A = this chain, B = another copy of it.
Amino acid sequence: MTTPRNARTAAPAVGAAEPSAKPVERGIPEATVARLPVYLRALTGLSDTGVDTCSSEELAAAAGVNSAKLRKDLSYLGSYGTRGVGYDVEYLRYQIAREIGVTQDWPVVIVGIGNLGHALANYSGFSSRGFRIVALLDADPRRQGEDVGGLGIRPFEEIERLVEEHHVAIGVIATPAVAAQHVCDRLVAAGVTSILNFAPAVLTVPHGVDVRKVDLSIELQILAYHEQRKALADPGSDAVPDALPSGLAPLAADGVVSR
């Protein structure tokens, strides 16, 4: 059952007594955590349009999920709804924001100010959610000093100083792939414990450091897979040779025909 925070389950005793050994806390399921920001966004949207109360059905529609799933997700946070009525938009919004941590201020550094880094530095969605970009770093001297969104690009060497000075816990990597691991190491050494990686590279980090990756081309490739599948299954469509680019793979063509 994963004992919710203020769990006062009838059967105390037991369980959690284990000392440190447990690395992961039994908190909110990962899948739920990933959806909370979506709910938060949906609630903000409702709030902006003057709605002050909503049912799980309405909120689920706004967030694009199943209402049962939504209710179960919210139940991990606590009982913030009222049966027969629904949820108070502002109240729930605050509760989710608090649970995620966006009620506090998160200083962030971005490393690698190329095209993507520029876009990230100018992205308004960060600041409106408690993420404050405190430094932009780049190894290329030609970029240093340039002003991006009111912030100057600093030399990469200043990374330790800047991270410490601003108490940065979250770093964003938007460098080319070859530089990513080195940048990551420096960030971690400087004290960063959460990394958002846009470089197409696998990062290895010490225990206790979280990494999330966003790979633009991977998303497109996933779409391409399904697109290919659709084309193969739909005979009505033109295009797409049902005979895949032959030439190579003698046994491949044979193995794939779905017969």
Contacts and interface: CB of A to CB of B under 8 A. Distances in A.
Nearest to A27: B229
Interface stretch (A123-131, A137-145, A155-163): A123-131
A119 to B, nearest CB: 4
A35 to B, nearest CB: 9
Contacts of A223: 170, 194-196, 210, 212
Contact of A98 (B108, B131, B233, B244): B244
A16 interface: yes
Given A108-B220, A216-B214, A193 B227 contact: yes
A240 B65 CA distance: 33
Interface residues of A, number: 106
B37 A217 contact: yes
A28 B228 CA distance: 13
Contact of A229 (B15, B102, B104, B229): B15
Interface of A: 4-6, 8, 10-11, 13-16, 18-20, 25, 27-28, 33-34, 36-38, 40-42, 62-66, 78-80, 91, 94-95, 98-104, 106, 108, 114-116, 118-120, 122-123, 125-126, 129-131, 167, 169-170, 172, 193-196, 200, 202-204, 208, 210, 212, 214-231, 233, 239-240, 244-246, 248-249, 251-253, 255-259
